[in-house]
Structure 1
Amino acid sequence: MREAIGDDAQNARPGCMDRELVDGGSTGLDRQQLIELAVNETNSAVYVTDDKTNIVFVNRTFTDMLGYQPHDVYGRRARDVLGSQHYTEADYIKLWNDLGRGRVVQQEVRTHARDGREVWLTLSLRAVLKPDGSFANLVGILEDITESRQIQTLQRDVLEAVAQDMPLAGIMNMICERAERMFPEIACSILGVDEQKKLRPLAAPSLPPHFSAAIDGIDIGPKAGSCGTCAWRGEAVTVVDIETDPLWDDFKGLPLPLGLVACWSSPIKLKDGRVAGTFAFYFREKRGPGMWHEQVVEACVQLCMLAFERHEATARIARLAYYDGLTGLPNRTKLREEMEARFDNAESPKAALLFIDIDHFKDVNDTLGHSVGDSFLKELARRIESVIWDIDIISRHGGDEFVIVLDGADEPRASRVAEALLAAIAEPVRVDGVTLPASASIGISLCPKDGTDSATLLRHADMAMYRAKGDGRSTYRFFSAEMNSQAQDRLLLGALLRDAVGNGQIRLAYQPQVDTRTGGVAGVEALARWTHPALGAVPPSRFIPLAEDVGLIETIGAFCIEEACRQLRHWDDTGYAVPHLAVNVSAIQFRNPNLPGIVAAALALNRLGTDRLTLEVTESVMMDALPTAAANAAALREMGITISMDDFGTGYSSLSHLARLPVSELKIDRSFMSDLEESEAVQAMVTAVIRIGETLKMRVVAEGVETVAQRRFLEALGCDVLQGYLFAHPMSPDDFTEWMDTRGALIPPVPDVHLRAS
């Protein structure tokens, strides 16, 4: 640099490079002109200072870049023209040390042009030294980085806004405003595209409200202006003349009155390729975008994409926090917040809360798998949602439970909605080729009658729901005050039952079954009994449904099978002839695919033949559409296990179904016995059941026989086996063997009783 610039910059003439500055006294004019031409024609701005840092030369690009003429800056210190950049004393010391060592110092400079424009520059600064090592000149080369710096600043500010979770509309408005600041001649617009493929304005700070309102809800398509067409095509659309371009035929009345005659729209695409929105420049002259426009648009589109992605991610997180992933319904957290917002802000809130529990859903999950269970629940959720109004709240409360809050509803409306829900749910659900029965139990609490806060209303509706289950399911019940104490009793009893299963309080009692042809014992039925040290005997009608609700029924059921088989083996070993043993199997247990294995293991452990065991299941279970129930029935029948249809005549079996079922025995329900002696209709029904058994070659057992007249009537009809208090109550194993010893295993005949057989 010393050879190129020279030592004495003090005598440099404005507007040219002094010969001595160039060549140390050389007289080569052509070379001088050539150097001036090169310096003036370069795209970089160049300035030269004297040893006091006063500017003595600037080239033409310096003038073009900053707007200063040479006479505006000559004699002024460079730092005054370009700005001090807030250097500290330490910064200056380091700067001069680096320059004194011949280093090129590079830095960014933020300054203002003569017209006030903000300009960002990169400065490369080098010193020209005298022979004694002192400063002669400083040569500065400037590059304009304003455009890239503006984009960087925009990117930084937008990313910061995204990181701080600024609302999407606020971020889009920021982007538009920055773009319009860079290009005062344009109006910027950002539109979103919703799930229905409609345009939704997000930001347009320079466009009047009626413009955005008119665009809101427009379908994207092949002739939907620049933006709607861009979103439809998924590629940029440039229209240089809105008035004549056919894409704008239906919409030109919006921009033209505003003086906007051209529009360039670019798609905002997410990572998965979806078009989330459009970014558009409207021009006030018929033109397309320039290179700088394109760079800014590319940067803005990327920022919009990031904002959309973050918005969707935030929305997904919110959905995970507040919405059920399977059904898409609000979850219990969202329900609680919605209820608190409505009830807390209302002077006298009025509402009905419906607590819905899908009956037997666990059976579907356990037997067919969670995939089928999920599809089953999704369909029921859709049906539930179709019944309620938009102003009502619906929530999946967890598992197979749903909650609905009917805003402003009274008891009559709550009843109507509950009935509509039961009807909608009751339609069979077809999943993967399997038709599944469906029903629900609904509990209802009313605000303010049953509570004014969400927790109380939910608790009371839950109690009412359990009452509906206890009353036969597939129905609804309103909360009443007496349910509180019942619910507390139920909770206590459930805990006691759990302890009872673990400490051996559940035992079996045995009731003999009598062969009507021989008078001998045809078999016994094993019946579960619970005697609590403090409560005494708890009736099966109370603890069996409770065991189903608290998840203990399968444990109790397996115990009954295993213990009954053990007892039968003991009787065999001690010389008591008991041909058959009957055990009740609950609906839940019969749908368990492990049931055949449990039965086989119990028989094998006790060295019993499969023909010795009878499993009693209710008519409704045998008619179950669940494939595991049918598969279990077929497997058990194949093993040689007798399957008895319990409570026959109280359900809905048809003869065509009955003939196809793997059933070997029909059991007449005890409910027929009470009216058997007086009611000809009951006599006719019992007669029909016995005749069905004869026709289908099934053994018929009548339970609940308590009188001699009933026995005689049934024997006259040819009923195979009788069971009831007339012969014996359910007994402990020791009492049963004593009973066998006393009677010699034979039941004496009875005299004729005049009871007409139909």
Structure 2
Amino acid sequence: MRQLTLAVDRSDTALLTLDDTLGVTYVNAGFTRLFGYTLAQMQGKRPSQVLAGPHTDPDTLRGLSEQAAGWQQSRADLLLYRHDGQPLWTSVITNPVSDVPGAPSESVSVITDITHAKMHEVLHTHVLDAIVREQPLTDVMAMICVELERVAPALRASVLSVDHDSRLHTLAAPSLPPEYAQEIDGLRIGAGVGVCGTAAWRGRPVSVSNIRTDPLFKDFPYFAERYGLQAAWSSPIKSSGGRVLGTFAIYYGEAREPDPWHIKLADICLHLCALALEREHTRARVHQLAFYDALTSLPNRMMFNARAEQLLVNAESQHTPIAVLFLDVDRFKRVNETQGHAAGDGLLRDIAQRLGENLGLGDLVGRQAGDEFVLALPNCGAEQAGGIAERLLGAIAAPSVVGHMTLHPSASIGVAIFPEDGRDINTLLRHADLAMHRAKIEGGGSFRFFSADMNRLAQERVALETALREALRRDQLQLHYQPQVLSHPPHPLYGVEVLLRWEHPQLGPISPARFVPLAEESGLIGDLCRWVLRNALRQLADWRARGVAIPRMAVNLSASNFEDPQLLDELLRLLQHHGLSPSDVTLEMTESVMLSPQPRVLDNIAAMQAAGLALSLDDFGTGYSSLSHLHRLPINELKLDMSFVRDLEHSMSARALTNSVLRIGESLRKHVVAEGVETERQRRLLAGLGCEVLQGFLFSKPLPAAELERWLAEREGE
């Protein structure tokens, strides 16, 4: 009860209970914070008696009361008032509560402040939609006033424009008499011309708490009597360049200072009014935004494609070639991650400028997306396109000074030629993109021409990705298990490594070296990882239940898996579901994990280790291994790559390097597992060097679960 009370009272939502007469019996602290009333002030009273105000909708209030009196659930948006008179838009939900089924005895009401949501819904969604649909200016301005008054019924609003002769004209004043517009129209702005004329003249907001006595209205004494206006606040509507375009004003029916909430609403309206008043300019800006890239001012994908298609039509009629280039900045993601997005944006602007400086007048360049640029070069064949690509690569490679940093960019370019490589721009871009990816795979900083083989490989990749999705959906993948044994006879079982296999019905066995990178690129790696963990842990639990002695299980994870903040929680839930311990599982990572710039990767690894999961560094010694990297990661185990083991028998260097790895593991108190052990001599050499755990075909190839059980049974029978 104490915890429940704390939770209820610390909530920002107002909670109250009502008896069978709809009188208040309880309010939480959130109610007091929201409305300013204590339980003592509310006890026994109906909420509407206290919270309703001059602009609370009586029909909505009546409907809520009737539903509550009939013990029905009710829900409505309602304008209510705080103790200090501040209006709040709220969502009110009331539910009957019954100790005995079918016999409710009290109700619980939940009241949530939705003022901000109302502001967004009404003053942004509706009005912006009207502006986008290009409704007439006066209609948009009237909508702004009407919607503001609907959110804040105590107000009356007006929008005036200021012409080039500095005269005021009424655009909208829906709640004021027509005579108001007649009085305003033609007035020249200046000091003492009411709140609107003065605000436009001063260029800043003006507030009048009493129109009857304020000197700004000395020439307009009839405003108070004729229109019932007692107080006002007005602000100039300015263009993006700072020019005063008009004024927005709110009026009160009583003498008072403007409410801060109303000022906030008016500020939103000011922005919307500025957008509407600059409509002609905005239309030009919309065209710019629709067809040009905001960062580089280059044509965007839509504009580039439209212009390029026209170039292709001309080239078709003139029988001339066109070269289409697809350019991607190398390692751009690393720039954003290490230097920040401002540096990345600056680099893209520099590259866009360099591209423009190195192209002819008839050439077309656009920004496709992100760090991708596309070019269409009329009357340009393959040989000329190669020279231009070389020139562009050289221009891009020049140092780029961004802020206080000097970057050394490079790019990969793919080239497709019209009409040989395609007769429409989408095909040409797709083929140039394929060629660009080939250049990137081969190291970047170069260009490649499209070939039919690339297209075939790309189509095969799409088909393989589709097949992999289907295999995941239909549970068509398999797990094999390769034993890991201690190095000295009789080689007790240390554990098993889980290895993923895929036997396609038509294509046959597909190597993980092929489909795992595909899963990474296509975003399937998370689903693939979860499939492996789910099925591997189910199998381990089954073995334990049947007394099959499997001490531990090692599972490979990709670098991106370690970026998943949900992975650890899901893994722990699976372990708990199957009655397994975290110590039963070792997670294997590649050395690329150590190079990840993402802070959450190291955080996830630390959390995994803290949860009791062992961590193993796979293929140790082949990549970027260093003691400084090992120091960063809480690794429990190193896996000596099979390339060292393969050369042990005939290479002193391999033995020396293997010995070094083993001594590193020994000094850091980490287990070392040698992979790829295939001969008895390799086993003896590794055992002699002090390697604890061995894995390889000498002992067993990876086996399906049933065959692994037979392998274990045969060992026990020896």
Closer, same or farther: CA 372–577 of 1 in aligned 2, 3 Å: farther
* 2:426 counterpart residue number: 455
**Does residue 588 of structure 2 align to residue 577 of structure 1?**
no
**Does residue 472 of structure 2 align to residue 501 of structure 1?**
yes
Residue among 316, 322, 328 paired with 1:356: 328
- Once residues 430 and 556 of structure 1 are traced to their aligned partners in structure 2, the CA distance between those partners, rounded to angstroms, is 43
SS, match of residue 697 in structure 2: coil
- Once residues 310 and 590 of structure 2 are traced to their aligned partners in structure 1, the CA distance between those partners, rounded to angstroms, is 48
The amino acid across from 1:618 in the alignment is T
Question: After superposition, what is the alpha-carbon deviation per residue over 1:692-748, rounded to whole angstroms, capped at 9, x for unaligned?
Answer: 1112111111212222222222222112221122221111110111111111299xx
Q: Tell me by how many angstroms 1:560 deviates.
A: 0.8
- Once residues 607 and 505 of structure 1 are traced to their aligned partners in structure 2, the CA distance between those partners, rounded to angstroms, is 26
Aligned residue runs from structure 1 range 258-407, under 5 A: 271-274=239-242, 309-325=278-294, 329-346=298-315, 347=318, 348-356=320-328, 378=345, 381-382=348-349, 384-385=351-352, 387-390=354-357, 391=359, 393-398=364-369, 401-405=372-376
Aligned residue runs from structure 1 range 591-670, under 5 A: 591-670=563-642
SS, match of residue 744 in structure 1: helix
* 2:503 counterpart residue number: 531
Gaps of 5+ in 1: 1-161, 164-178, 180-233, 236-268, 278-304, 747-758
Q: Tell me by how many angstroms 1:574 deviates.
A: 1.3
- Once residues 657 and 416 of structure 2 are traced to their aligned partners in structure 1, the CA distance between those partners, rounded to angstroms, is 42
Aligned residue runs from structure 1 range 216-231, under 5 A: none
Q: Tell me by how many angstroms 1:497 deviates.
A: 1.2
Answer yes or no: is the 8 Å Cα contact 2:585–2:614 preserved in 1: yes
Gaps of 5+ in 2: 1-136, 139-163, 165-201, 204-236, 246-273
Answer yes or no: is the 8 Å Cα contact 1:352–1:414 preserved in 2: no
SS, match of residue 389 in structure 1: helix
Answer yes or no: is the 8 Å Cα contact 1:270–1:309 preserved in 2: no
Closer, same or farther: CA 328–699 of 1 in aligned 2, 3 Å: farther
Q: Tell me by how many angstroms 1:551 deviates.
A: 1.8
Q: Tell me by how many angstroms 1:376 deviates.
A: 7.6
- Once residues 486 and 359 of structure 1 are traced to their aligned partners in structure 2, the CA distance between those partners, rounded to angstroms, is 24
Question: After superposition, what is the alpha-carbon deviation per residue over 1:474-503, rounded to whole angstroms, capped at 9, x for unaligned?
Answer: 876432221122122222111111111100
- Once residues 428 and 704 of structure 1 are traced to their aligned partners in structure 2, the CA distance between those partners, rounded to angstroms, is 48
Closer, same or farther: CA 707–532 of 1 in aligned 2, 3 Å: same
Answer yes or no: is the 8 Å Cα contact 1:354–1:405 preserved in 2: no
- Once residues 683 and 632 of structure 1 are traced to their aligned partners in structure 2, the CA distance between those partners, rounded to angstroms, is 35
The amino acid across from 2:504 in the alignment is H
Question: After superposition, what is the alpha-carbon deviation per residue over 1:517-539, rounded to whole angstroms, capped at 9, x for unaligned?
Answer: 46111111111111122222111
The amino acid across from 1:378 in the alignment is D
Answer yes or no: is the 8 Å Cα contact 1:619–1:653 preserved in 2: yes
Normalised by the length of structure 1, the TM-score is 0.52
- Once residues 310 and 418 of structure 1 are traced to their aligned partners in structure 2, the CA distance between those partners, rounded to angstroms, is 42
- Once residues 573 and 429 of structure 1 are traced to their aligned partners in structure 2, the CA distance between those partners, rounded to angstroms, is 63
The amino acid across from 1:382 in the alignment is R
- Once residues 487 and 512 of structure 1 are traced to their aligned partners in structure 2, the CA distance between those partners, rounded to angstroms, is 37
* 2:389 counterpart residue number: 414
Answer yes or no: is the 8 Å Cα contact 1:561–1:599 preserved in 2: yes
**Does residue 704 of structure 2 align to residue 732 of structure 1?**
yes
Q: Tell me by how many angstroms 1:583 deviates.
A: 0.8
- Once residues 710 and 296 of structure 2 are traced to their aligned partners in structure 1, the CA distance between those partners, rounded to angstroms, is 60
Aligned residue runs from structure 1 range 651-730, under 5 A: 651-730=623-702
The amino acid across from 2:669 in the alignment is K
The amino acid across from 2:458 in the alignment is A
Q: Tell me by how many angstroms 1:649 deviates.
A: 1.4
Q: Tell me by how many angstroms 1:635 deviates.
A: 0.9
* 1:516 counterpart residue number: 487
The amino acid across from 1:714 in the alignment is L
Aligned residue runs from structure 1 range 58-97, under 5 A: none
Answer yes or no: is the 8 Å Cα contact 1:447–1:457 preserved in 2: yes
Closer, same or farther: CA 602–710 of 1 in aligned 2, 3 Å: same
- Once residues 730 and 553 of structure 1 are traced to their aligned partners in structure 2, the CA distance between those partners, rounded to angstroms, is 22
The amino acid across from 1:450 in the alignment is D
Closer, same or farther: CA 389–357 of 1 in aligned 2, 3 Å: closer
Q: Tell me by how many angstroms 1:612 deviates.
A: 1.4
The amino acid across from 2:474 in the alignment is N
- Once residues 611 and 701 of structure 1 are traced to their aligned partners in structure 2, the CA distance between those partners, rounded to angstroms, is 17
* 2:713 counterpart residue number: 741
SS, match of residue 582 in structure 1: strand
- Once residues 670 and 395 of structure 1 are traced to their aligned partners in structure 2, the CA distance between those partners, rounded to angstroms, is 48
Closer, same or farther: CA 689–360 of 1 in aligned 2, 3 Å: farther
* 1:153 counterpart residue number: none
Normalised by the length of structure 2, the TM-score is 0.55
- Once residues 344 and 658 of structure 1 are traced to their aligned partners in structure 2, the CA distance between those partners, rounded to angstroms, is 59
Closer, same or farther: CA 534–452 of 1 in aligned 2, 3 Å: closer
**Larger Rg computed on CA atoms:** 1
Q: Tell me by how many angstroms 1:636 deviates.
A: 0.8
Answer yes or no: is the 8 Å Cα contact 1:354–1:443 preserved in 2: yes
Q: Tell me by how many angstroms 1:379 deviates.
A: 5.1
Give aligned pairs, total: 450
Closer, same or farther: CA 570–379 of 1 in aligned 2, 3 Å: farther
Aligned residue runs from structure 1 range 119-268, under 5 A: none
Closer, same or farther: CA 353–514 of 1 in aligned 2, 3 Å: same
Residue among 437, 456, 463 paired with 1:492: 463
Residue among 508, 524, 536 paired with 1:564: 536
SS, match of residue 356 in structure 2: coil
